Amino acid sequence: MTFPTHRPRRLRQSGAVRRLMAETHLVPSQLVLPMFVREGLTEPQPISSMPGQQQHTIDTLRRAAAEAAEVGVGGVMLFGVPAVRDAIGSGADDPAGILNIATAAVAEEVGDQLVVQTDLCLDEFTDHGHCGVLTDEGVVDNDATLERYASMGVAQARAGSQLLGLSGMMDGQVDAVRRALDAEGHVDTLIMAYSAKYAGAFYGPFREAVDSQLTGDRRTYQMDPPNAREGVREALLDVEEGADAVMVKPALPYLDVLADVRQSVDVPVWAYQVSGEYSMVEAAAQNGWLDRRATIMDSLMAIRRAGADTILTYWATEAAGWIRDSLR
């Protein structure tokens, strides 16, 4: 009888061996928790299409941020839902706007324990739901939007945001915001560019989460799903403009782009496990079709394996707790 010369199974024979030989590791500090805060709420509002997620009050937002910090989550990304919207998203750079008030509250609560981050985009604040200012013809005006982003960036930095997540996909947005921040003395405020943000169907539940007013679609500024090389080009342009980190969004449907971007840039690469990814797993788990915890961890490890240094995920606090407990 001839026996195998190579026995890869030796590397899998026990949990201890598997941990020792693991090629990819996931730790709590690599996770960022996105959270929604809505103006005017007296109680948190569940998001029906995202089981387990909610629109927060300021108080519950602070508590959720503290819970994330307690288990070692690396950061929180805040999204604001205003009570009043207009054509130019005036609430976005209003110091008394919901996002800026919430940022100051969270920075006070946990600013020395994790990185307080803010979404920098106009879509939650406009009455038409687009990520920028519209022309009279209803087209997003790239350069007029840059002026709004610059003002929004300064307002968020003043409120205490340590990292700005530029998610609008306007050409030149990193340069515009960086110049505005530096001119105001916010030279240490980080910029994370949503460089390869793809238009598609995976954002559906998020629209409920931010009470989106969108009419039409965002295909003239978000990326076309068939294009992978273009995602790398966008990331390289953002790095050239001064981005401190770049992102691929969504995560799992674009692991190929994520891997290509990781190989092409020398800054941290992030990925966003978006609402559709979250809700599909939660729905299947509720029906008993899969092991919820195992599926969540499989999905996060896939994103790490493809090259993400940091992952935005709605499971951040829960997954961080699992990881921490597994190491005890």
Domain ranges for the chain: 25-326
> Catalytic site residue 299?
no
| Helix 316-326, helix 58-70: angle, nearest 10 | 20
| Helix 142-159, helix 173-183: angle, nearest 10 | 40
Note the CATH number of domain 25-326: 3.20.20.70
- pLDDT band of residue 221 (cuts 50, 70, 90) is confident
Give the per-residue pLDDT at 200: 83
- Give which of 267, 268, 271 is closest to 252, Cα–Cα: 271
Answer positive or negative: Cα dihedral of 319, 322, 326, 327: positive
Share of residues in the chain with pLDDT > 90 (%): 91
Q: Taking residues 184-202, what's their average pLDDT?
A: 95
Q: Provide the token pair at 149.
A: 């982003």
Task: Give the best-scoring range by mean pLDDT among 8-17, 198-207, 254-263.
Answer: 254-263
> Catalytic site residue 197?
yes
For 196, the 3-state DSSP assignment is strand
- Give which of 191, 197, 233 is closest to 218, Cα–Cα: 197
User: Has residue 172 got a pLDDT over 80?
Assistant: yes
Catalytic residue among 178, 249, 262, 304: 249
User: Has residue 131 got a pLDDT over 80?
Assistant: yes
Name which residue leads in pLDDT, 117 or 130.
117
Q: Taking residues 304-326, what's their average pLDDT?
A: 97
The Cα 231–Cα 80 span in angstroms is 27
**Mean residue pLDDT across the chain:** 95
User: Has residue 206 got a pLDDT over 80?
Assistant: no
User: Has residue 219 got a pLDDT over 90?
Assistant: no
Catalytic residue among 62, 85, 128, 197: 197
The Cα 39–Cα 192 span in angstroms is 25
Q: Taking residues 48-72, what's their average pLDDT?
A: 97
Q: Taking residues 28-56, what's their average pLDDT?
A: 96
From the CB of residue 298, how many other CB atoms can be counted at a distance below 10 Å?
12
Is the distance from CB of 270 to CB of 246 less than 8 angstroms? yes
Q: Taking residues 195-205, what's their average pLDDT?
A: 89
Residue 190 has phi, psi (to 5 degrees) of -80, 150
Give the per-residue pLDDT at 212: 76
User: Has residue 209 got a pLDDT over 80?
Assistant: no
pLDDT digits (tens, 9 = 90+) for 241-282: 999 999 999 999 999 999 999 999 999 999 999 999 999 999
For the entire predicted model, the pTM comes to 0.95
